[in-house]
Structures are given as structure tokens and as C-alpha cells.
Chain A
């Protein structure tokens, strides 16, 4: 495979053809924040946190789906980008009821960590405080819509890694919800294999193992990567 040379934040980086800017940056030890990206599942460029500036492009491009090109000049953390990322995170915090102190993922939550990284000490927007359900119908897992950020990592893990196709998105815009099968209680789903990959994929406290109490929910992300690596490269390594 042909190698491509590009500059990321002024640093010369070499990457493989077909690699994304995100992968190239991470290989070079350059951190780009992400939420909807998860190693092993396909990228959709939805959370907009990994937007980067590319010289010559009038638009900001998502690093997770933008392929490297020879001579590309990438900026990953300009003031403007940091300002945008901060606002995006604030929008998420105000969208649903993210009450960190009583959340199963308190201390292990990607949203919480990103907010801290971006120096968010308060949210400038009005809290929308929607009234949302908690689905505890499944014998092993629970789904708390109050904590969901609609990154759809669970949906993609369910479809593309497990192949069960249980999780999906219903509604649109601010009314979007993650659903099971045809919008029925998770426990009544006929397709769910109870594999738990969606729970492993969730960045926040939206999907959890039943019985997990506040701040207890830690996830094993390596499991998904292990499966995908084994499947695609026939390498059984973690």
C-alpha cells in the first residue's frame, strides 16, 4: 500500500493510503476528540467533535471519515475548533438529563471526560429537561434515554459486529430515540441475542448492566475490537 505524507498540527506524519486522518493522527500520538467513533465499528461522522481544518478546504471536515492525502495540511486544535467542540459538548449536556452525580457511568463517561477536557464548568444553554423513559425490561441490561447522546455506537455494534439488528433510531431531530426492534420494550425483542455489545459500545450511562449502581459501570471496549480484529485480520489478539 502506498504511503502518504501529510502534516498534522505542523508535525510531519506518514500514513497508509486509505487511512483516515483520525487514524493517522492517533498513530502519530496526536489526540483528536471523538464521541461517535469507536474502534472496530464503521464511522458516520455524526458527532462533529473530530472536525479538523484542512488547508485549502473551505469546510471543516470530520477526521474520522476523511481519507489522508499526499501533502495535506491538517489543523486539529485551533481556537475556533476548540470553541466549536466546547459548544457541541454543551449542547449535548443541555439536551437530555445528564446528571453525572447519580449516573452509573460517573467517572467512566466519555461525555463527562470530554466536558472536563474542554474546560466546561457550566453550560450556557437552557437545559431542555425532556421527560424520558428508562427501559428496564431486559433481564440483563437497561437503557436510560436520559443519558443517551444518540451517537448510534450501539446501533452500529448491534448491526455490524453482532449482526442482530435489534437497535435502531426512531423519530427525527430532537425527538430521535434509540429503539429495540419495532419500538418495543427491549425485553420483548425477538432479535436481541443479549450479547451486550451495545452496552460495551455506549460512551455514557445510557446502556448499562442491570445491577450497576452509581459510578460502577465500567466498559470493556477491547471486546469489540478483539472481535473485529479477529474477523478482519484473523488475529486473535486484544
Chain B
């Protein structure tokens, strides 16, 4: 069997889902027998490669960098997995949405608190621009699977990957998987 080309990406989220991934402990060694991690914040690859089999997407889409990378990920990946609540619902990352557009959020964060020299951060080309609304992944590109949880527990992630490796159909109809 060909080795699975696995990737993970980290958008607007706390990286808790990635921590949970690491919590799979010794099963990671098992995973390494079947899969190559070709791109991830946990490994040192600079470019998202072509021909990725599965990508776990953590985090919501909050800025232009997220958006660009997500679009690249989508075109280069067969199976996209929205990984954790931020990717699926926006979750904590989307708590800013009720405040209004990016402008309102920036003002609320940088001007309203009234520091000595209040100014909006602007570093074009360095700091990516905020989107007006934080979006769940599936509202930007099509997503094949959803793995909710904040974070999804290590056994859940393991179960999910085992099913994926075995080519079993993923069923989301189980009460153990829930938001939060």
C-alpha cells in the first residue's frame, strides 16, 4: 500500500487540536508506519506540497493569509478534514464577529483601551489583513469530514485516522462526538 501523505494546518485557533493530536502518544509511532507528515506546524516544511491525501485543518479563517493557504490546501488535497470546533464553527476565534467588521474589532482592541499612543497596527506585507468576518472552513471551501470538539480528544482523533486508514466510511452519527 502507498504511504498516506498526511498534512495538518493551523489557522485561527489555539493549537489545542494539534496538542490533542500529539496526545496520541505512542500511536503516533504506529501512524508513522503508514503515513508521511508532508506539511504541519509540527514539522519543518516551508511549502504546502502537491498531492496530499489528507489534511487536518485546525482553526477558523480569520485573515488573508489563512484564506490564501486554505485555497492552496484545497486544490492540492484530496480529503479535507475540518479539525476541531474553530475550523467547524468559528468557535472562540469567531467571538469577534458580533462586534462587526475588522475595523470595529481593531478599534475595540487597539484604540478603545486608551493606551498612551493608540494606533492601529499596519505592516503591509508582513501582518496579514483581518477578514471582516471569521469564517468556518466549510463556508470557504468544500470539506469532506468534520471532527468536532474543543479539542477533539486523542482517542477520537485516533479512531478517526484508523477508520480513514482502513478506508472505512466515516460516520458522524455518534453521540460521543460533540461541539465543545
Q: Do A and B interact directly, with beta carbons closer than 8 Å? A: yes
Residues of A at the B interface (CB closer than 8 Å) are 93, 97-103, 106-107, 109, 112-113, 115-117, 119, 121-123, 126-127, 129-132, 146, 215
Label chain A's interface by main secondary structure: loop
Tell me the smallest distance from the CB of B95 to a CB of chain A, in Å: 6
Q: Which residues of A contact B91 (CB under 8 A)?
A: 99, 101
Evaluate contact between A101 and B147: CB separation under 8 angstroms.
no
Is there a chain A Cβ closer than 8 Å to B45's Cβ?
no
Q: Which residues of A contact B178 (CB under 8 A)?
A: 100, 112-113, 115-116
Provide the B138-154 mask, 1 if CB < 8 A to any CB of A, else 0: 11000100111010000
Residues of B at the A interface (CB closer than 8 Å) are 82, 85, 88-92, 94-95, 97-100, 133, 136, 138-139, 143, 146-148, 150, 171-180
Evaluate contact between A129 and B138: CB separation under 8 angstroms.
no
Other-chain contact of A100, B100, B176, B179 (Cβ < 8 Å): B179
CB contact under 8 A between A122 and B177, given known A97-B95, A97-B98, A129-B98: no
Evaluate contact between B150 and A100: CB separation under 8 angstroms.
yes
In the complex, residue of chain B having the shortest beta-carbon distance to the beta carbon of A103: B180
Evaluate contact between A101 and B180: CB separation under 8 angstroms.
yes
Evaluate contact between B180 and A126: CB separation under 8 angstroms.
no
Q: Which of B95, B143, B179 gathers most chain A CB within 10 Å?
A: B179
Q: Which residues of A contact B92 (CB under 8 A)?
A: 99, 101-102
Q: In the bound complex, how far is the Cα of B15 from the Cα of A212, in angstroms?
A: 26
